[in-house]
Amino acid sequence: MADYNDIPDYHRASTPVTTALPEQDGKLNILLVTRGHPFDRDTFFDVFDSNPEIQYSNVEHPAAQFMFNPEMAKRFDCYVQYDMPGVQFGDGGPQYPEPPEFYIEGVRAMGEAGCPLVIMHHAAAAWPAWPEWAEIVGGHFLYTPMKSRGIDKPDSGYNIDVSHTVSPAMDHPITRGIEPFKIVDEVYLSEVFEDSVIPLFTSDWKFTRNNFYSAANAVVRGELNSNEDWHHDDGSNVVGWIKAYKNAPVVYLQFGDGPSAYENPNFRRILAQAIKWASSDEAKAWAIEMNRASNR
Protein backbone atom coordinates (compact mmCIF):
# COMPACT_ATOMS: atom_id res chain seq x y z
CA MET A 1 0.00 0.00 0.00
CA ALA A 2 1.12 3.58 -0.50
CA ASP A 3 -0.23 7.08 0.00
CA TYR A 4 1.11 8.46 -3.27
CA ASN A 5 -1.91 7.72 -5.45
CA ASP A 6 -1.83 11.29 -6.75
CA ILE A 7 1.65 10.75 -8.18
CA PRO A 8 1.48 9.24 -11.69
CA ASP A 9 3.79 6.26 -12.18
CA TYR A 10 5.04 7.93 -15.36
CA HIS A 11 5.80 11.27 -13.67
CA ARG A 12 9.51 11.01 -14.34
CA ALA A 13 10.92 9.56 -17.53
CA SER A 14 13.18 6.57 -17.15
CA THR A 15 16.84 6.73 -17.94
CA PRO A 16 17.39 4.85 -21.20
CA VAL A 17 18.69 1.35 -20.60
CA THR A 18 22.15 0.70 -21.90
CA THR A 19 22.66 -2.36 -24.06
CA ALA A 20 26.42 -2.40 -23.59
CA LEU A 21 28.36 -2.30 -20.33
CA PRO A 22 29.73 1.27 -20.07
CA GLU A 23 33.07 2.30 -18.64
CA GLN A 24 32.49 1.82 -14.94
CA ASP A 25 35.43 3.65 -13.34
CA GLY A 26 35.25 1.16 -10.50
CA LYS A 27 31.50 1.64 -10.06
CA LEU A 28 28.94 -1.14 -9.98
CA ASN A 29 26.56 -1.10 -12.93
CA ILE A 30 22.98 -1.51 -11.69
CA LEU A 31 19.70 -2.13 -13.48
CA LEU A 32 16.92 -0.50 -11.45
CA VAL A 33 13.50 -1.94 -12.30
CA THR A 34 10.33 0.04 -11.47
CA ARG A 35 6.61 0.50 -12.28
CA GLY A 36 3.44 -1.13 -11.05
CA HIS A 37 3.16 0.81 -7.78
CA PRO A 38 3.24 4.60 -7.26
CA PHE A 39 6.14 6.18 -5.37
CA ASP A 40 7.76 9.55 -4.80
CA ARG A 41 10.14 9.40 -7.72
CA ASP A 42 12.47 12.34 -7.10
CA THR A 43 13.28 11.33 -3.53
CA PHE A 44 13.59 7.67 -4.45
CA PHE A 45 15.97 8.22 -7.36
CA ASP A 46 18.10 10.47 -5.17
CA VAL A 47 18.96 7.39 -3.10
CA PHE A 48 20.73 6.00 -6.17
CA ASP A 49 22.01 9.31 -7.57
CA SER A 50 23.77 9.98 -4.26
CA ASN A 51 25.49 6.58 -4.07
CA PRO A 52 29.07 7.17 -5.33
CA GLU A 53 29.75 3.45 -5.74
CA ILE A 54 27.15 2.78 -8.43
CA GLN A 55 25.89 3.89 -11.80
CA TYR A 56 22.43 2.79 -12.80
CA SER A 57 19.91 2.55 -15.59
CA ASN A 58 16.19 2.61 -14.84
CA VAL A 59 13.80 0.49 -16.88
CA GLU A 60 10.04 0.15 -16.36
CA HIS A 61 7.58 -2.62 -17.08
CA PRO A 62 6.59 -3.94 -19.52
CA ALA A 63 9.88 -3.18 -21.32
CA ALA A 64 11.76 -4.43 -18.25
CA GLN A 65 10.59 -7.97 -18.90
CA PHE A 66 12.85 -8.19 -21.95
CA MET A 67 15.85 -7.46 -19.69
CA PHE A 68 15.34 -10.60 -17.60
CA ASN A 69 17.64 -13.12 -19.23
CA PRO A 70 21.33 -13.99 -18.73
CA GLU A 71 22.43 -12.32 -21.97
CA MET A 72 21.14 -8.93 -20.81
CA ALA A 73 22.01 -9.54 -17.15
CA LYS A 74 25.71 -10.01 -17.91
CA ARG A 75 25.81 -6.30 -18.74
CA PHE A 76 24.96 -5.46 -15.11
CA ASP A 77 26.42 -6.31 -11.73
CA CYS A 78 23.04 -6.49 -10.01
CA TYR A 79 19.31 -5.96 -10.59
CA VAL A 80 17.50 -3.83 -8.00
CA GLN A 81 13.74 -4.38 -8.12
CA TYR A 82 11.24 -1.80 -6.90
CA ASP A 83 8.54 -3.02 -9.23
CA MET A 84 5.15 -4.70 -8.87
CA PRO A 85 4.10 -6.31 -12.17
CA GLY A 86 1.26 -8.78 -12.39
CA VAL A 87 -1.25 -6.72 -10.38
CA GLN A 88 -3.84 -4.65 -12.26
CA PHE A 89 -6.10 -2.50 -10.09
CA GLY A 90 -9.63 -1.69 -11.18
CA ASP A 91 -13.29 -1.74 -10.23
CA GLY A 92 -14.19 -4.90 -8.37
CA GLY A 93 -10.67 -5.48 -7.12
CA PRO A 94 -7.29 -6.32 -8.65
CA GLN A 95 -6.72 -8.74 -11.51
CA TYR A 96 -3.66 -10.97 -11.61
CA PRO A 97 -2.35 -11.66 -15.12
CA GLU A 98 0.29 -14.32 -15.57
CA PRO A 99 3.79 -13.31 -16.67
CA PRO A 100 4.77 -14.13 -20.25
CA GLU A 101 6.58 -17.41 -20.69
CA PHE A 102 9.75 -15.76 -22.06
CA TYR A 103 10.00 -13.74 -18.84
CA ILE A 104 9.57 -16.82 -16.63
CA GLU A 105 12.21 -18.68 -18.60
CA GLY A 106 14.53 -15.67 -18.45
CA VAL A 107 14.21 -15.29 -14.66
CA ARG A 108 14.87 -18.98 -14.14
CA ALA A 109 17.91 -18.84 -16.42
CA MET A 110 19.21 -15.83 -14.48
CA GLY A 111 18.93 -17.89 -11.32
CA GLU A 112 20.95 -20.70 -12.86
CA ALA A 113 23.54 -18.17 -14.07
CA GLY A 114 23.84 -16.63 -10.59
CA CYS A 115 22.58 -13.13 -11.45
CA PRO A 116 22.14 -11.16 -8.18
CA LEU A 117 18.84 -9.58 -7.13
CA VAL A 118 18.11 -6.91 -4.52
CA ILE A 119 14.33 -6.85 -4.04
CA MET A 120 12.56 -4.03 -2.22
CA HIS A 121 9.29 -3.44 -0.39
CA HIS A 122 6.20 -3.79 -2.63
CA ALA A 123 8.00 -6.14 -5.06
CA ALA A 124 6.91 -8.89 -2.62
CA ALA A 125 3.38 -8.40 -4.01
CA ALA A 126 4.37 -8.93 -7.65
CA TRP A 127 3.10 -11.74 -9.89
CA PRO A 128 0.43 -13.34 -7.63
CA ALA A 129 -0.46 -15.67 -10.53
CA TRP A 130 3.13 -16.99 -10.58
CA PRO A 131 3.84 -18.60 -7.15
CA GLU A 132 7.52 -19.07 -7.96
CA TRP A 133 8.06 -15.33 -7.61
CA ALA A 134 7.17 -15.50 -3.91
CA GLU A 135 9.71 -18.30 -3.51
CA ILE A 136 12.36 -16.15 -5.19
CA VAL A 137 11.59 -13.28 -2.79
CA GLY A 138 11.20 -15.43 0.32
CA GLY A 139 7.83 -13.91 1.21
CA HIS A 140 4.46 -12.94 -0.16
CA PHE A 141 2.25 -9.84 0.24
CA LEU A 142 -1.36 -10.65 -0.72
CA TYR A 143 -3.75 -7.92 -1.85
CA THR A 144 -6.71 -10.30 -1.66
CA PRO A 145 -7.23 -13.72 -0.04
CA MET A 146 -5.51 -16.42 -2.07
CA LYS A 147 -3.23 -19.40 -1.77
CA SER A 148 0.35 -18.98 -0.61
CA ARG A 149 2.50 -22.08 -0.80
CA GLY A 150 -0.69 -23.96 -1.65
CA ILE A 151 -2.50 -22.94 1.56
CA ASP A 152 -5.47 -20.56 1.68
CA LYS A 153 -4.40 -17.29 3.29
CA PRO A 154 -6.19 -14.03 4.12
CA ASP A 155 -5.16 -10.80 2.47
CA SER A 156 -2.10 -9.17 3.99
CA GLY A 157 -2.02 -6.15 6.27
CA TYR A 158 -0.36 -2.78 5.91
CA ASN A 159 0.23 0.26 8.10
CA ILE A 160 1.70 3.43 6.65
CA ASP A 161 4.05 5.85 8.42
CA VAL A 162 4.79 3.64 11.40
CA SER A 163 7.65 4.72 13.67
CA HIS A 164 9.50 1.57 14.64
CA THR A 165 13.00 0.38 15.47
CA VAL A 166 14.91 -1.88 13.09
CA SER A 167 17.75 -3.98 14.50
CA PRO A 168 20.39 -6.18 12.86
CA ALA A 169 19.76 -9.89 13.38
CA MET A 170 23.29 -11.05 12.53
CA ASP A 171 26.77 -9.86 11.63
CA HIS A 172 26.92 -9.65 7.84
CA PRO A 173 28.36 -7.26 5.24
CA ILE A 174 24.85 -5.84 4.78
CA THR A 175 24.37 -5.19 8.51
CA ARG A 176 27.94 -4.02 9.12
CA GLY A 177 28.09 -0.73 11.00
CA ILE A 178 24.32 -0.61 11.53
CA GLU A 179 23.05 -0.13 15.08
CA PRO A 180 19.34 -0.34 16.00
CA PHE A 181 17.69 2.68 14.39
CA LYS A 182 14.35 4.43 14.19
CA ILE A 183 12.58 4.67 10.86
CA VAL A 184 9.15 5.95 9.81
CA ASP A 185 7.91 3.62 7.12
CA GLU A 186 5.15 1.28 5.97
CA VAL A 187 5.13 -2.15 7.59
CA TYR A 188 3.50 -5.35 6.32
CA LEU A 189 1.68 -8.19 8.05
CA SER A 190 2.36 -10.68 5.31
CA GLU A 191 3.77 -14.11 4.57
CA VAL A 192 7.46 -14.53 5.43
CA PHE A 193 8.94 -17.92 4.53
CA GLU A 194 11.19 -18.14 7.58
CA ASP A 195 12.27 -21.67 6.69
CA SER A 196 13.77 -20.37 3.42
CA VAL A 197 15.49 -17.14 4.47
CA ILE A 198 18.35 -15.98 6.68
CA PRO A 199 17.17 -12.96 8.72
CA LEU A 200 19.20 -9.77 8.50
CA PHE A 201 16.87 -7.28 10.26
CA THR A 202 13.96 -7.42 12.68
CA SER A 203 11.48 -4.80 13.84
CA ASP A 204 10.19 -4.03 17.33
CA TRP A 205 6.70 -3.35 15.91
CA LYS A 206 4.04 -5.83 17.04
CA PHE A 207 2.99 -7.82 13.97
CA THR A 208 -0.55 -8.52 15.11
CA ARG A 209 -3.90 -7.97 13.45
CA ASN A 210 -4.82 -4.91 15.54
CA ASN A 211 -1.69 -3.05 14.35
CA PHE A 212 -2.51 -3.38 10.65
CA TYR A 213 -5.21 -2.69 8.07
CA SER A 214 -6.68 -5.04 5.48
CA ALA A 215 -5.25 -4.74 1.97
CA ALA A 216 -8.47 -6.14 0.49
CA ASN A 217 -10.60 -3.60 2.35
CA ALA A 218 -8.51 -0.91 0.67
CA VAL A 219 -8.33 -2.21 -2.89
CA VAL A 220 -11.69 -4.02 -3.15
CA ARG A 221 -14.01 -2.12 -0.82
CA GLY A 222 -12.27 1.24 -1.08
CA GLU A 223 -11.93 1.44 2.70
CA LEU A 224 -8.47 2.70 3.59
CA ASN A 225 -7.06 2.00 7.04
CA SER A 226 -9.77 -0.50 7.92
CA ASN A 227 -9.49 -3.93 9.49
CA GLU A 228 -13.23 -4.50 9.78
CA ASP A 229 -14.22 -8.16 9.22
CA TRP A 230 -10.56 -8.99 8.65
CA HIS A 231 -8.72 -11.72 10.49
CA HIS A 232 -5.03 -12.52 10.25
CA ASP A 233 -2.67 -14.58 12.37
CA ASP A 234 0.28 -12.91 14.06
CA GLY A 235 3.16 -12.50 11.64
CA SER A 236 6.94 -12.42 11.49
CA ASN A 237 8.93 -9.38 12.60
CA VAL A 238 11.71 -10.19 10.11
CA VAL A 239 11.94 -7.20 7.75
CA GLY A 240 15.11 -8.00 5.80
CA TRP A 241 16.80 -11.21 4.74
CA ILE A 242 19.09 -13.02 2.33
CA LYS A 243 18.50 -16.24 0.45
CA ALA A 244 19.56 -18.05 -2.68
CA TYR A 245 17.45 -18.57 -5.78
CA LYS A 246 19.17 -21.41 -7.62
CA ASN A 247 22.76 -20.01 -7.92
CA ALA A 248 21.80 -16.36 -7.43
CA PRO A 249 22.15 -14.36 -4.21
CA VAL A 250 18.92 -12.57 -3.27
CA VAL A 251 18.44 -9.75 -0.76
CA TYR A 252 14.98 -8.62 0.32
CA LEU A 253 14.40 -5.39 2.27
CA GLN A 254 10.82 -4.90 3.45
CA PHE A 255 11.37 -1.25 4.36
CA GLY A 256 11.50 1.56 1.80
CA ASP A 257 7.98 2.90 1.11
CA GLY A 258 8.32 6.68 0.87
CA PRO A 259 10.38 9.84 1.47
CA SER A 260 10.67 9.39 5.24
CA ALA A 261 12.38 6.04 4.60
CA TYR A 262 14.34 7.12 1.52
CA GLU A 263 15.89 9.99 3.46
CA ASN A 264 16.87 7.83 6.44
CA PRO A 265 20.69 7.52 6.40
CA ASN A 266 20.55 3.98 7.80
CA PHE A 267 18.19 2.88 5.03
CA ARG A 268 20.53 4.37 2.45
CA ARG A 269 23.55 2.64 3.98
CA ILE A 270 21.76 -0.72 4.17
CA LEU A 271 20.63 -0.53 0.55
CA ALA A 272 24.12 0.48 -0.61
CA GLN A 273 25.67 -2.41 1.34
CA ALA A 274 23.04 -4.82 0.01
CA ILE A 275 23.87 -3.87 -3.58
CA LYS A 276 27.59 -4.14 -2.91
CA TRP A 277 27.32 -7.55 -1.23
CA ALA A 278 24.91 -9.05 -3.78
CA SER A 279 27.26 -7.98 -6.58
CA SER A 280 30.31 -9.54 -4.93
CA ASP A 281 32.07 -12.79 -5.72
CA GLU A 282 31.56 -13.70 -2.06
CA ALA A 283 27.78 -13.54 -2.42
CA LYS A 284 27.79 -15.53 -5.65
CA ALA A 285 29.95 -18.27 -4.09
CA TRP A 286 27.66 -18.31 -1.05
CA ALA A 287 24.57 -18.75 -3.23
CA ILE A 288 26.15 -21.61 -5.16
CA GLU A 289 26.99 -23.38 -1.91
CA MET A 290 23.49 -22.78 -0.54
CA ASN A 291 22.03 -24.26 -3.73
CA ARG A 292 24.29 -27.30 -3.52
CA ALA A 293 23.40 -27.85 0.14
CA SER A 294 19.66 -27.67 -0.58
CA ASN A 295 20.01 -30.29 -3.31
CA ARG A 296 21.98 -32.80 -1.27
- Give the Cα separation of 25 and 128 in Å (integer): 39
Check residue 18 and give its pLDDT.
47
Check residue 7 and give its pLDDT.
34
Q: Count how many domains the chain has.
A: 1
- CATH code of the domain in which 70 resides: 3.40.50.880
For residue 113, tell me if it sits in a domain.
Answer: yes
Residues of the chain with pLDDT under 50: 2-19, 21-22
For residue 217, tell me if it sits in a domain.
Answer: no
For residue 9, tell me if it sits in a domain.
Answer: no
For residue 162, tell me if it sits in a domain.
Answer: no
Check residue 118 and give its pLDDT.
98
Check residue 2 and give its pLDDT.
44
For residue 57, tell me if it sits in a domain.
Answer: yes
Instruction: Name the residue range of residue 110's domain.
Output: 28-146+194-200+237-294
Strands 157-168 and 198-203: antiparallel
pTM of the model: 0.92
Q: Per-residue pLDDT tens for 162-204? A: 999 999 999 999 999 999 999 999 999 999 999 999 999 999 9
For residue 218, tell me if it sits in a domain.
Answer: no
For residue 207, tell me if it sits in a domain.
Answer: no
Q: Per-residue pLDDT tens for 110-123? A: 999 999 999 999 99
Check residue 23 and give its pLDDT.
54
Q: Per-residue pLDDT tens for 226-246? A: 999 999 999 999 999 999 999
Check residue 24 and give its pLDDT.
54
